[in-house]
Amino acid sequence: MSQAFIPAAFMRGGSSKGVFFHARDMPGDRAALDPMLLAVLGSPDPYGRQLDGMGGGISSLSKGVIIGPPTRVDADVDYTFAQVAVDRPVVDWKGNCGNLSAAVGPFAVDEGLVRAAGGEALVRIHQVNTRKLIHARFPVQGGRAVVQGDFAIAGVAGTGARIRLDFLDPGGTQTPHLLPTGNAADTLDIPGHGPLRATLVDAANPAVFIDAADLGLTGGELPEEIEARADVLALLDRIRRIAGVAMGLGATPTQVGLASPRVALVAPPLPARTLDGRILDPAAHDIGVRMLSMERPHRAVPMTGAMGLAVACRIAGSVPHALMRQGPSAEVIRVGHASGIVAVGAEVRQANTGWHAESAVVFRTARRLMQGQVAIPL
């Protein structure tokens, strides 16, 4: 069997990893692009390990990124994101990865797509999937992104140079509005459970937020504890799909995609155990979350999910707003998750037309892990 070799870079952005490509090296036809990305990542894999590809067997490690020239005058690059399913032949193009967004700016500078001599670079990113703008700011030296630094993020060992990401006007990425139903909270009728209060938000990515206690959970469960409960996983998927219909993401539950909306269990600050064995200090965070996408719980909260949660916390009458405890900073919301705590900024205002998210801010690190060519079986 012969193989084709495509120029690529393997990068970590935040707590995710993905394969980065130049748009010039990739087919523009989805009929050709989807099979290529599936082969690169090693999907579908019924064993769930992606051993025959670059994927890592979980959704946060099964991603593709395509970077090209800007198609907007207010952007420096176009960034298209692909979420590749692990165990099925599915490539989802609807949403964005907030973590990998952190690697887009450094990739663009290092590849010569954006010139930056020294000091702090600003890369204006057009996120094609969501039609939104992201401003990435990070240190550069000698025309290349600085990698070393003293900034640490939960879920990633070591430290790196800090990358600031400003998501501008993050509401309405896949639906027309920040609140797709127009309500701060809705009551969903869930088969096998009954009425359930939920907040449906489309900020950075669509998500449905529910009080973990309403499902008999604490909201401090570790990912493996959630995965061990087939009944809980099935219930959460039903909730996610019914919420997706309410948000206009599908006409029926079966038509709602795997990646959107995400479903999140939220809880007040708890002394919950993290994946590295620490116990979170309830006084050190303002709200807790366990988030699922692609039918599996995340080991660290996705950045778009954390931003959506921070936005929801600012909306009076929402489920997260009722559970959040106001911390020492009015500008930052500290989100506790299975790997630690992440601080998220969210600016939200209420106007005559309803709630509007002005911006969301997160800080990440990123690093190029490998570069060269990736092999694709023909």
Average pLDDT, integer, range 85-111: 97
In this predicted structure, the answer to whether residue 328 has a pLDDT above a threshold of 80 is no
DSSP 240-284: HHHHHHHTTS-SSGGGS-SSSSEEEEEES---PBPTTS-B--GGG
In this predicted structure, the answer to whether residue 330 has a pLDDT above a threshold of 80 is no
pLDDT at 329: 76
DSSP assignment letter at 226: H
pLDDT at 331: 83
251-296 confidence digits (pLDDT tens): 999 999 999 999 999 999 999 999 999 999 999 999 999 999 999 9
46 burial via Cβ count (<10 Å: 0-12, 13-18, 19+): exposed
Q: Which residue type sits at 229?
A: R
29-41 confidence digits (pLDDT tens): 999 999 999 999 9
SS3 224: helix
User: For the chain, which residues make up each domain, given as ranges?
Assistant: 3-173+365-377, 186-354
Instruction: Quickly tell me which residue has 């769930």 as its tokens.
Output: 48
Please state which of the four CATH numbers 1.10.3720.10, 3.10.310.10, 3.10.250.10, 3.40.50.300 is assigned to the domain occupying 3-173+365-377: 3.10.310.10
CA angle 260, 246, 337 (to 5 degrees): 45
DSSP assignment letter at 214: G
3-27 confidence digits (pLDDT tens): 999 999 999 999 999 999 999 999 9
SS3 309: helix
CA angle 192, 198, 201 (to 5 degrees): 130
Instruction: Quickly tell me which residue has 């969301």 as its tokens.
Output: 360
Fold classification of 186-354 is: Diaminopimelate Epimerase; Chain A, domain 1 (3.10.310)
- Reported confidence tier of residue 327, pLDDT bands at 50, 70, 90: confident
3-state SS, 157-196, equals CCCECCEEEEEECCECCCCCCCCCCCCCCEEEEECCCEEE
Pairwise CA distance, residues 330 & 316, whole Å: 15
| Pairwise pLDDT comparison (361 vs 327), residue with the higher score | 361
Q: Which residue type sits at 214?
A: D
In this predicted structure, the answer to whether residue 102 has a pLDDT above a threshold of 90 is yes
Radius of gyration of the chain (CA): 20
Pairwise CA distance, residues 255 & 94, whole Å: 14
Helices 98-110 and 303-313 pack at an angle, to 10 degrees, of 120
Query: Counting every residue, how long is the chain?
Result: 378
Give the C-alpha distances (Å, rounded to integers) separating 164 from 106, 122, 192, 259: 12, 10, 43, 25
48-68 confidence digits (pLDDT tens): 999 999 999 999 999 999 999
Mean of per-residue pLDDT scores for the chain: 96
242-257 confidence digits (pLDDT tens): 999 999 999 999 999 9
Cα 227 versus chain centre, distance: 19
- pLDDT-above-90 percentage for the chain: 96
Please check whether the two domains, 3-173+365-377 and 186-354, share a CATH topology: yes
